[in-house]
Chains A and B, each alone.
Chain A
Amino acid sequence: MTHSQRRFLTPPALLVGLAVALALIGLAATRLTGAQAAAPAQDTQPGNEVCLGCHQQPGMTMELESGEQLYVSVDPAQFGKSVHSKAGVACAVCHTDIFGYPHPERTAKNLREYSLLYQNTCKICHEAKYQVDSVHRQAFENGDPNAPICTDCHNPHTQAQVKDEQGNLIPEELGKSPEICAKCHNGIYEEYANTVHGVAAAKGNTDVPVCITCHGLHQIEDPTTAQFRLNSPKLCGECHSNKTIMDKYGLSTDVYNTYVADFHGTTVTLFQKLSPDQETNKAVCYDCHGVHNIRAVDDPQAGLEIKQNMLLACQKCHPDANINFPDSWLSHYTPSPTRYPLVYYVNLFYKFFIPLVLGVMGIFVLSDIYKKVTTRVKRGGKSPAPEQKES
């Protein structure tokens, strides 16, 4: 042992450590679930200043067996801004096994193993978040060590407050959130970032969807299931039928209704209502508009207002379609004398033709009923039925 280590392994330091350990056992025993329960008896733990005393030095690393560098610095300024610091969460609340100096030997052989040591740590305060079902959780439980755990998305030392007092997500944080998903889903992120939604989201526009708007927060559903596919038009429709949002951009709020009224939408809606596990290849919004690479309809490269682009979209499912075919879809418009006039006039024709035919029939029927009734009255209520007149 070196000179300095001897000096730190003194009885008072061990006592502090023991006190911390006991305090944490007590904390765990109370099974606190809310994040508010985070302020433990700070007196018994080494204060953050003790840890930061060393760990505030930038660039501190430890080499793991794999040769990877474990970064062990915490920037006090950044940590100070974090939600955990604001809530008074001490280092020792999470780093329950590190107290005293020298610190206990690390068992982790590489960075991933090191992260995984903390996979259940957040439970101390955020137990409820562990209960939600999510593709990430499933992947983790199926033994994928790279499946994200809490800390992969939420760096506990820098995690900002994401909800305001009313429990709403803070717009700025919402706008930044795709960057978090991009850590692992960068391919999709890059597609998204250039889209009509992604560009606006990056500018802090909260009207547009970010990853979690569609995929969910924590409770992330598998987007490859039949169920997700069938539910997806409603997902898009939620915003695209919202007049308050759509009016800002001059967008139609009829897109969902007109979709449902057409063949694809009718089928998808029926499946969604009657057999939600049914796999269907009937087009949903994203089959034509793009999954993550959703462009504005007037986008010169992929906008569906351009017939050639629409044809390409049609041909994904109707490979034999020709250039006339896209017009068989009303492009979310309600037919009018200028748009899809043939459909408009067919509807108009039947609007008059049906009442006319039925009206003529009805008049005849009514006249006949009148005759029958007056005849019966004249006969004094006797039935005119021939069967009864036989005798």
Chain B
Amino acid sequence: MSDTTKAIQRFNVAQRIEHLVLIISFTVLALTGLPQKYSLAPISQAIINALGGIDAIRIIHRVAATIFVLEAVYHLVVAGYKVIVLRLQASMVPGIKDGKDAFQWFFYNLGLRKDHPKMPRYNFMEKMEYWAMIWGLVLMGLTGFMLWNPISTARLLPGQFIPAAKAAHGAEAVLAVLAIIIWHFYNVHLKRWNWSMIRGTLSREEMEEEHGEELEQIEQGRLVKAADPETRKKRLMFYAPVAGIFTIVSVFLVYRFVSFEQSSITTLPVEERAQVIVRRTPTPLPTAAPTPTEAPTQAGAQASADTWNGGINKLFGKCAGCHGTSGGLSVKTYADLLAGGTQGMVVVPGDPEKSLLVDVMKGTHPMKFSAAELERVIAWIKAGAPEK
């Protein structure tokens, strides 16, 4: 057991960089996506604010998504090279053995089996994660396209595919992030810090535990060998153009993806079309009303001669406002009125012509009897201005 710590090469630099790009794009997608899903949570708003607002976060999300998809294109090209040109084992393809391994691993953990299974280069845990990632990528890509290009989506599909896509996109994101935390973080960080994506190597003991089958193949020299340079060259003649076309088409599709449609106007929508200030035609001002209520009708006035107490006093009511004192004249009582003011008598019983009151009422006095009222007062004076 002296070689338990012997380092065994697992990932080359390119693979480690690819993984790093994946970490960054995935993390950015999660960091900018989940706050959109849970936008009302204070933590979401703190993140949104820190990243420059919701518009900025949407752009960052889309940039990260583009990188993620481009990374997938790269991955496919490399995987194709390994399988088609190098004719290496397609070590990520799941098989029945992986199912068996999973159960054996589980029983071993529970103490129902003595030995843990000897697992291949990619064990069931890694395959599960890898294919979950592929599933996520396809689903997120499709639903993301619908959300990014809703107008075009609605041309091909019923409108409710868009909110359905939104629901799936969000739920899948939650699943992906939680799976990474529960599955990936536990298996490669918590259980034991796995250095293979940083240093590129695993210790022999780690290999023995997690990739026992591959370790045996390595140590017994049974590993599938890469094709010799000559064959490789031949195959590359075929693969290179295919991969090149695939890359160009993919990159073109990604470009179309991100620039497919102009979903909405970029200006403000028209809000109020009605003109803001439209004056109403003012209501016509009231015109002179009929004789004030307390005065008798003309017919009534002519029917019988008035007396002071019988109604004339009421006509003077509005005069009393000033003429309690003004001009030395008071019109509050019959006696006051007959007493006159500073300019002498205002009512000369029997003689309207000589009564100053009539003169003033025909002149420019600020307040006047109405024509009917004045007529009534003149008739009253003519009749001798009786009190009762």
Contacts and interface: CB of A to CB of B under 8 A. Distances in A.
B285 A69 contact: yes
Contact of A287 (B171, B175, B269, B359): B269
A279 B327 contact: no
A328 B269 contact: no
A371 B175 CA distance: 26
A128 interface: no
A40 B322 CA distance: 20
Nearest to A101: B366
A5 B364 contact: yes
A95 interface: no
Interface in B169-214: 171-172, 174-175, 178-179, 182-183, 186-187, 191-192, 203, 205-206
A367 B261 contact: no
B53 to A, nearest CB: 6
A370 B274 contact: no
Interface stretch (A82-90, A298-306, A353-361): A353-361
Given A367-B106, A386-B205, A47 B321 contact: yes
B271 A286 contact: yes
A161 B160 CA distance: 53
Contacts of B187: 365, 368
Contacts of A58: 286-289
Interface string A3-21: 1110110101100000000
A61 B285 contact: yes
A162 interface: no
B278 A3 contact: no
Number of contact residues on B: which range applies? 35 or more
Nearest to B293: A77
Interface string A290-333: 01110000000000000000000000111111101111111000
Contact of A370 (B110, B179, B264): B110
A59 interface: yes
A132 interface: no
Contact of A386 (B5, B262, B279): B5
Interface in B358-373: 359-360, 363-367
A362 interface: yes
A103 B36 CA distance: 71
Interface of A: 2-5, 7-8, 10, 12-13, 47, 49-54, 56-59, 61, 69, 71, 73, 75, 101-102, 182-188, 190-191, 224, 260, 262-263, 266-267, 269-271, 273-275, 278-279, 281, 283, 286-287, 291-293, 316-322, 324-330, 335, 340, 342-343, 346-347, 350, 353-354, 357-358, 361-365, 367-368, 370-372, 374, 385-387, 389-390
14 contacts: A57-B367, A185-B278, A187-B275, A266-B54, A269-B39, A269-B40, A270-B48, A274-B48, A274-B53, A343-B160, A358-B179, A361-B183, A367-B110, A386-B5
Interface of B: 4-5, 36, 39-40, 45, 48-49, 53-54, 102, 105-106, 108-111, 125, 132, 150-151, 153-155, 157-164, 166-168, 171-172, 174-175, 178-179, 182-183, 186-187, 191-192, 203, 205-206, 261-272, 274-280, 285-289, 318-322, 325-328, 341-343, 359-360, 363-367
Given A322-B154, A328-B161, 15 more contacts: A53-B322, A59-B285, A59-B286, A59-B288, A184-B280, A186-B278, A266-B39, A271-B54, A291-B272, A318-B150, A320-B261, A327-B154, A354-B171, A368-B186, A389-B4
Closest 3 CB pairs of A and B: A327-B159, A350-B171, A59-B288
